[in-house]
Amino acid sequence: MSSENTQAGADVLIVGGGLSGTMLAVQLLRLPGRRHVVIVESRSELGRGEAYSATELGHTLNGNAARMSVDPDNADDLTQWLGDYIAAGGWPESDEQHVPVAELFPPRGIFGLYVQQRLAEAKAAGALHGSTVEHVRGEVTDLQSDTSGVVLTLADGARLRGDVGVLATGMYAAARTPQRDANGLNAAAVDPWNVDAMRHLDPGGRVLIIGSGLTMVDAVVSLEQAGHRGPIDVFSRHGLLPHVRRQPPSWPDFLGADHSIRSTRQLVRALREQCEQAMAQGVDWQAPLDTVRVHIARLWSQASDLQRRQFVRHVRPWWESHHHRSPPPSARLLDRLVEEGRLNVHAASLLSVEEAHAGQVRISVRYRGDDHSTLESGTALINSTGIQYDWRRVDRPLPRQLLARGLIQPGPLALGIAADPGGAVVDAQGQVSSRLFAMGPPLRGLWWESTAVTDVALQAKALAARLVTAI
């Protein structure tokens, strides 16, 4: 790799300064030793990324404070910080939830402040032994790696060299990501989180939403805050809405007690039995479901490709709607709109965007059970299909270059990218890199659940410990 016009000096180059990249930096700064960490992030602030750049109070975490600590050694870290933040006068609207601090669902923007404060504290701790972190603002468009290190190329032509590189790119939200072989959805759609743009829509017009998961919940919250009062029609293949997240009591860890449960069919059968037992005892069915989370990585990693495909094809829609649940304030809004007849959910697949111009959009869908298409029209369209995990479809410079150079290969079922259990990236020839690593959402195919705050926090701690031995 040419050294001309290349800025040297980083021990660790982190691509992405959202939750994943920031938490990795925090863990590196906390470890003894002197090292220089460079985070390349296009946003002006670290610690927010796609998810926590939200500014509307209605866009909340989908987990309560007790579940969302960024400190893997202190499950109460967010609860403690949030309690202090509220006591100091922050987020006065928290009183409206009428629950203890541990059960609050804070706005994502406030969670971003929490992450930033933990980074500031880690910077101070790192300075005591000579460690530093630098934020380089820009977009990484190319990456080269060999046995001597990693070189990043930025959109402005700058080049950065480091001993190791980490792909902490976070989530590629489908609504904000150019995609190959797209059906024109993004070009015609309104951003699900852009309340200002929604204020320019016809407040009484019919809004069409594609996808019925948590992004749809955010979109409906955005429409409500923008003053929209018209009908909303949601289209998704199975027509399933996320369940509301409740605070169930503890339940025995049945998977921890029985390691013979390995296949998708065995898991579904055992989980159904546990939920039926819970309900027969007057216990919320979410209690046994919540015990499954800690075993997902083990179950997914030991499953065969066939078993994984069966899970994705037959179980995934129900898993997503039951496991990735809606925060109570948002769920109450959806319930009200359904009762008012304003929100309708349809089991239908999008075929194409037929026409889109100012104030009018028309799409072609196929309703479940039909063998013909149907045209639906509205005044606005929103893409709420969630996250694009298939990097082959992401039409962004860095994924394209990494694939073209053979530095990465798709992960299992084309979910994210391939890596070893410690996060070392596996290239197109099956070689495990000693210089390039990944964490968080890019490892979706490796662990299935690799996006939640607790997942990212645990990965950051483990990867930081590994990296300090490689530099």
Domain map of the chain by residue range? 6-59+107-172+389-467, 175-243+326-383, 254-323
What percent of the chain stands above pLDDT 70? Answer: 98
Give the pLDDT mean for 231-243: 97
- In this model, does residue 256 exceed pLDDT 60? yes
Pairing mode of beta strands 374-378, 360-367: antiparallel
DSSP classification of residue 41: -
Q: What is the pLDDT of residues 3-50, one digit of tens each?
A: 556 666 899 999 999 999 999 999 999 999 999 999 999 999 999 999
pLDDT value of residue 262: 82
Which pLDDT belongs to residue 4?
53
Distance CA 272, CA 394 (A): 36
Q: Do domains 6-59+107-172+389-467 and 175-243+326-383 have the same CATH topology?
A: yes
pTM here is: 0.94
Q: How many secondary structure helices (H) and strands (E) does the chain include?
A: 16, 14
Phi and psi (nearest 5°) for 153?
A: -110, 130
Q: How confident is the model at residue 146 (pLDDT cuts 50, 70, 90)?
A: confident
Nearest to 37 by CA among 9, 77, 18: 9
Amino acid (one-letter) located at 33: G
Topology of domain 175-243+326-383 in CATH is FAD/NAD(P)-binding domain (3.50.50)
Q: Which residues contact 433 (CB under 8 A, 6 or more apart)?
A: 145, 407, 424, 425, 426, 427
The per-residue pLDDT for 236 is 97
**pLDDT given for residue 152 in this prediction:** 97
* pLDDT value, residue 54: 87
- Residue 430, pLDDT above cutoff 90: yes
3-state helix vs strand vs coil in the chain, percent to 5 = 40, 20, 40
Polymer length in residues for the chain = 471
In the chain, the N- to C-terminal Cα span, in Å, equals 19
| 205-216 pLDDT per residue, tens | 999 999 999 999
- With 60 as the cut, is the pLDDT of residue 166 above it? yes
| pLDDT recorded at residue 447 | 93
Mean pLDDT value of segment 136-158 = 95
Q: Which residues lie closer than 8 Å to 2 by C-beta, 6 or more apart?
A: none
% of the chain at pLDDT higher than 90: 87
> What is the pLDDT confidence band of residue 263, given thresholds at 50, 70 and 90?
confident
The mean predicted confidence, pLDDT, of the chain is 94
Q: Report the CATH superfamily, name and number, of domain 6-59+107-172+389-467.
A: FAD/NAD(P)-binding domain (3.50.50.60)
Q: What is the mean pLDDT of residues 100-115?
A: 97
pLDDT at 302 over 90: no
Q: What is the mean pLDDT of residues 187-200?
A: 94
- The predicted pLDDT at position 94 comes to 96
Q: What is the DSSP letter of 315?
A: I
Tell me the mean pLDDT in the region 327-344: 97
Separation CA 399–CA 405 (nearest Å): 10
**Could you give the C-alpha distances from 298 to 36, 125, 295, in angstroms and in order?**
34, 34, 5
- Give, for 281, the enclosing helix (H) or strand (E): none
Distance separating alpha carbons of residues 103 and 314, to the nearest angstrom: 32
Q: Tell me the average pLDDT across 375-385.
A: 96
Residue 8, pLDDT score: 67
pLDDT of residue 259: 84
Which pLDDT belongs to residue 253?
96
Report helix, strand or coil for 270. Answer: helix
pLDDT over 70 at 114, yes or no: yes
Q: Are 247 and 64 within 8 A, CB to CB?
A: yes
Is residue 261 very low, low, confident or very high in pLDDT (cuts 50, 70, 90)? confident
